[in-house]
Chains A and B, each alone.
Chain A
Amino acid sequence: MAQTATASKSVKFIITRQDSPESKSYTEEFEVPYRPGMNVISALMEIQRNPKNAQGQTTAPVCWDSNCLEEVCGACSMVINGKPRQACAALIDKLEQPIRIQPMKTFPVVRDLIIDRSRMFTALKRVKAWIPIDGTYDLGPGPRMAESKRQWAYELSKCMTCGVCLEACPNVNEKTDFIGPAAISQVRLFNAHPTGEMNKEERLEALMQDGGIEGCGNSQNCVRACPKGIPLTTSIAEMNKETTKHMFKRWLSV
């Protein structure tokens, strides 16, 4: 009985699609039967089960990327009603209809809503976002981290490389080579670690390369968009301070 009551309600979608990385994008409308508590991913699953557009024509099911479905993996980032966010955490009940879904075009589109976030992982490699602990012998335990520091550093460690901050940033685009806020914040995280700190100059110098921290123009959209609430602008300002100090230290020590 409950099913017959809800079957009459439907949810409208306007989805931006693209068949291949080189082809042109187009929009297609869908109508999906409403179920209580549904989110954008479950609606996309419904389209997958019954791939018919709003006109009733059979079409290729919409492709998307997702993994954890609990907003910790960062895979299902897409632009929903103009805002980049995680589709798994986008509840239909809280969205204005028709729901417009687009891929995050700051990244290369692979197909439909699937994007290639490789540039973010390249950026993490560039800034050496790891802690080197491997040696030819046991290096023993590292220095301990103060609890007061661990608490704020933990917030930075929540970054899931989802790419939402890059999509929100007006300075991450084809005209610049700016690596974006996420990697800058990771430098702060790894430079805060007592062992990671031993290599902090390497990471700061990576931020002072072309496309590094200079690309930030303080629009501060990143901190508003971040689904994990990471204080990205505080991280950027802190790294501005550290790179400035490093610059003067380098000049004055030769």
Chain B
Amino acid sequence: MKGYYSRKLHSLLGVIPLGGFLISHMISNYKAFEGGKEGFMGAVHFLNSMPLVFFLELFLIWLPLLYHGVYGLYIAYQANNNVGNFNYERNIRFMIQRITGVITFVFVIWHMYDTRFQIMIGKITHDELGAVMHGIVSNPVLFALYVVGVLSATFHFANGLWAFLVSWGITVGPRAQRISTYICMGLFVVMSVMFILAMTGFRDAEFQAANAVIDIAKTVLS
């Protein structure tokens, strides 16, 4: 595919559907903080009750994620970062965008292995997801790694949204680009706080399930 279209598609998929998915993921996880186990289970059941849920996942999450991730690694490889000589805010964000992209890529693989993949191979059910998450975030080291992963993902999305607005010619002038920086960085802060609150929500003892599930969580983690 010609470079222009492949890059344009990469930019589009990052926002629609992947950005949309990240926001919906954040909202359903935030239910764990707001409504406890009951709230989170309600969100899980709601998502799984959607029609054609397999195809929604395939076309709105997995395939866009694969394309955006693999092509994104290639874009990150292509840059010769030069923040040493050009120590400017936009150039630093350009570099962080590539670093957080790679971190997010690794984090998403790890996180999907722990959760969605275990459901796929039948080791756990959707109802046990809360317990799996409880097992992960109760471990201080894994909690810290999850914070890094989540901050990377939210920054990459918020800053990517800023770049999307430039790349599609929506914010053209310097003032528009400056104001969209404030909005996007505000979005980064709000999303980060909500995700981290959700993770603290999962630490609550009510997510602790029967021993069997914890054992599964442990084998998954080891």
Q: Which residues of A contact B (CB under 8 A)?
A: 82-83, 168, 170-171, 173, 175-176, 208-221, 224-225, 231, 233-234, 236-245, 247
Whether B116 sits at the interface, judged by CB under 8 Å, is no
* Contact of A175 (CB < 8 Å), options: B77, B85, B94, B162: B77
What is the distance, in angstroms, from A197's C-beta to the closest C-beta of chain B? 18
Cβ-defined contact, B169 with A240, below 8 A: yes
Whether B8 sits at the interface, judged by CB under 8 Å, is yes
Cβ-defined contact, B174 with A231, below 8 A: yes
Rank and list the top 7 A-B pairs by shortest CB-CB distance, nearest first: A241-B169, A219-B94, A214-B7, A220-B90, A240-B169, A82-B85, A237-B172
**A40–B162 CA distance with the chains assembled, in angstroms:** 39
* Contact of B3 (CB < 8 Å), options: A83, A168, A212, A233: A212
Cβ-defined contact, A220 with B77, below 8 A: no
Number of A-B pairs whose CB atoms are under 8 Å?
A: 102
* Contact of A173 (CB < 8 Å), options: B7, B80, B162, B173: B80
Whether B84 sits at the interface, judged by CB under 8 Å, is yes
Specify which chain A residues have a CB less than 8 angstroms from the CB of B177 in the assembled complex.
233, 237
* Contact of A170 (CB < 8 Å), options: B8, B81, B172: B81
Cβ-defined contact, B90 with A219, below 8 A: yes
Cβ-defined contact, A217 with B171, below 8 A: no
**A144–B85 CA distance with the chains assembled, in angstroms:** 43
Specify which chain A residues have a CB less than 8 angstroms from the CB of B172 in the assembled complex.
234, 237-238, 241
9 extra interchain contacts, Cβ-Cβ under 8 A, other than A237-B169, A237-B172?
Answer: A82-B84, A176-B78, A214-B6, A217-B79, A220-B94, A221-B82, A221-B86, A237-B171, A244-B168
**A49–B19 CA distance with the chains assembled, in angstroms:** 62
Question: 1/0 per residue B149-190: CB within 8 Å of A?
Answer: 000000000000011001111111110010000000000000
**A212–B5 CA distance with the chains assembled, in angstroms:** 11
Q: A170-B94, A237-B177 are in contact. Are A214 and B3 (CB under 8 A)?
A: yes
Specify which chain B residues have a CB less than 8 angstroms from the CB of A233 in the assembled complex.
166, 174, 177
Whether B55 sits at the interface, judged by CB under 8 Å, is no
Specify which chain A residues have a CB less than 8 angstroms from the CB of B82 in the assembled complex.
168, 170, 221
Whether B4 sits at the interface, judged by CB under 8 Å, is yes
* Contact of A225 (CB < 8 Å), options: B78, B81, B86, B90: B86
Cβ-defined contact, B174 with A217, below 8 A: no
Question: 1/0 per residue B81-118: CB within 8 Å of A?
Answer: 11011101011001100000000000000000000000
Question: 1/0 per residue B52-88: CB within 8 Å of A?
Answer: 0000000000000000000000010111111011101
Residue in chain B with minimal CB distance to A224 = B88
Cβ-defined contact, A218 with B94, below 8 A: yes
Q: A209-B2, A221-B91, A224-B86 are in contact. Are A237 and B166 (CB under 8 A)?
A: yes
Cβ-defined contact, B8 with A218, below 8 A: no
16 A-B residue pairs with Cβ-Cβ distance under 8 Å, sorted by A, are: A82-B84, A168-B82, A173-B78, A175-B80, A176-B78, A209-B2, A212-B3, A218-B90, A218-B94, A219-B86, A224-B88, A225-B86, A233-B177, A234-B174, A240-B168, A243-B169
Cβ-defined contact, B169 with A219, below 8 A: no
Residue in chain B with minimal CB distance to A213 = B4
Cβ-defined contact, A218 with B166, below 8 A: yes
Q: Which has the most chain A C-beta neighbours within 10 Å: B6, B7, B172? A: B172
Residue in chain A with minimal CB distance to B159 = A218
Q: A170-B94, A218-B163, A231-B174 are in contact. Are A211 and B3 (CB under 8 A)?
A: yes
Specify which chain A residues have a CB less than 8 angstroms from the CB of B85 in the assembled complex.
82-83
Residue in chain B with minimal CB distance to A83 = B85
What is the distance, in angstroms, from A100's C-beta to the closest C-beta of chain B? 11
**A247–B174 CA distance with the chains assembled, in angstroms:** 24
**A227–B90 CA distance with the chains assembled, in angstroms:** 19
What is the distance, in angstroms, from B168's C-beta to the closest C-beta of chain A? 5
Q: A82-B85, A240-B166, A244-B168 are in contact. Are A219 and B3 (CB under 8 A)?
A: no
**A210–B167 CA distance with the chains assembled, in angstroms:** 16
Cβ-defined contact, A214 with B91, below 8 A: no
What is the distance, in angstroms, from B109's C-beta to the closest C-beta of chain A? 24
Residue in chain A with minimal CB distance to B89 = A220
What is the distance, in angstroms, from A213's C-beta to the closest C-beta of chain B? 7
What is the distance, in angstroms, from A110's C-beta to the closest C-beta of chain B? 22
